[in-house]
């Protein structure tokens, strides 16, 4: 969608490496009543059986990505993009425009002071300057590896490939306005999110009061 002046909420981009706990944090914001626009959820909807984007992906990357019921083999695709930069670039070129278009549509439909826009690969995309604020969910490597093994059943070599394919912690820190440390136990996460929620409400109010004109949607 071409950039145009529009009314929209203040947008906080939430990002972090695989296994850092982005979903846990976004769920806590949702409990505070904050709308969540999740690009991963959008991506899953766009590649549901029968969707045109799924057909484009299979055409570009191979029929073996479909199971017997016409569903995308997500684990196989994940393995492919973590081991091949060319495959990852092809997939991104197909998916990113459609994902951003739908994210923009969802943001424009909101009337809340602010929303959380979950973009896992924000540091890798280089589009962080187009968002109002960036929240990085961080966790140390042992914590992330343990979660990936438990959640996805990934082997050590698969975990190493997944971590190596993404931006480093330092690269994510470089784009961060706020950082939540989600290493180890999660008992303090609700308090951290509650404090950030109040901070973002205040920032959204300041942002809205200072706006002489409507702002563009910060997704591109």
The domain ranges of the chain are 10-210
Give yes or no for a contact between 165 and 86, defined as CB atoms under 8 angstroms apart.
no
Residue 215's pLDDT is 58
**What separation in angstroms does the CA of 138 have from each of 20, 177, 178?**
6, 13, 10
> Is pLDDT of 3 > 70?
no
- Separation between Cα atoms, residue 43 and residue 46, nearest integer Å: 5
Residue 165's pLDDT is 83
Condensed to tens digits (0 to 9), the pLDDT of residues 23-33 reads 999 999 999 99
Mean pLDDT of 12-33: 95
Residue 44's pLDDT is 93
Condensed to tens digits (0 to 9), the pLDDT of residues 156-173 reads 888 888 888 888 899 999
pLDDT band for 218, please (50, 70, 90 cuts): low
Residue 124's pLDDT is 81
**Which has the closest alpha carbon to 177: 205, 196, 190?**
196
Residue 4's pLDDT is 43
Residue whose structure tokens are 């990505």: 65
Question: Which distant-in-sequence residues (6+ apart) come within 8 Å of 102 by Cβ?
Answer: 42, 45, 46
Mean pLDDT of all residues belonging to the chain: 89
Residue 180's pLDDT is 95
Domain 10-210 superfamily per CATH = P-loop containing nucleotide triphosphate hydrolases (3.40.50.300)
Give yes or no for a contact between 3 and 125, defined as CB atoms under 8 angstroms apart.
no
Residue 6's pLDDT is 56
Residue 187's pLDDT is 78
Quote the pTM value: 0.85
Mean pLDDT of 21-42: 96
């Amino acid at each position: 969608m071409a950039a145009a002046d529009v009314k929209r909420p203040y947008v906080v981009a939430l990002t972090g490496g695989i296994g850092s706990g982005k979903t846990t944090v976004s769920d806590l914001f949702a409990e505070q009543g904050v709308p969540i626009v999740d690009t991963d959820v959008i991506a899953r909807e766009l590649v549901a059986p029968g969707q045109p984007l799924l057909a484009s992906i299979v055409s570009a990357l191979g029929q073996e990505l479909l199971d017997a019921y016409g569903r995308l083999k997500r684990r196989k695709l994940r393995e492919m993009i973590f081991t091949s930069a060319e495959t990852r670039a092809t997939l991104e070129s197909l998916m990113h425009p459609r994902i951003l278009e739908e994210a923009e549509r969802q943001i424009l439909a909101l009337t809340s002071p602010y929303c959380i826009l979950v973009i896992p690969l924000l540091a890798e995309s280089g589009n962080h300057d187009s968002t109002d604020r960036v929240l990085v969910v961080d966790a140390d490597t042992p914590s992330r590896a343990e979660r990936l093994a438990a959640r996805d059943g990934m082997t050590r070599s698969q975990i190493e490939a997944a971590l190596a394919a993404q931006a480093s912690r330092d690269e994510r820190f470089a784009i961060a306005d706020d950082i939540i440390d989600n290493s180890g136990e999660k008992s303090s996460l609700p308090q951290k999110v509650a404090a950030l929620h109040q901070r973002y409400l205040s920032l959204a109010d300041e942002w809205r009061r200072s706006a002489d004109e409507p702002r563009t949607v910060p997704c591109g």
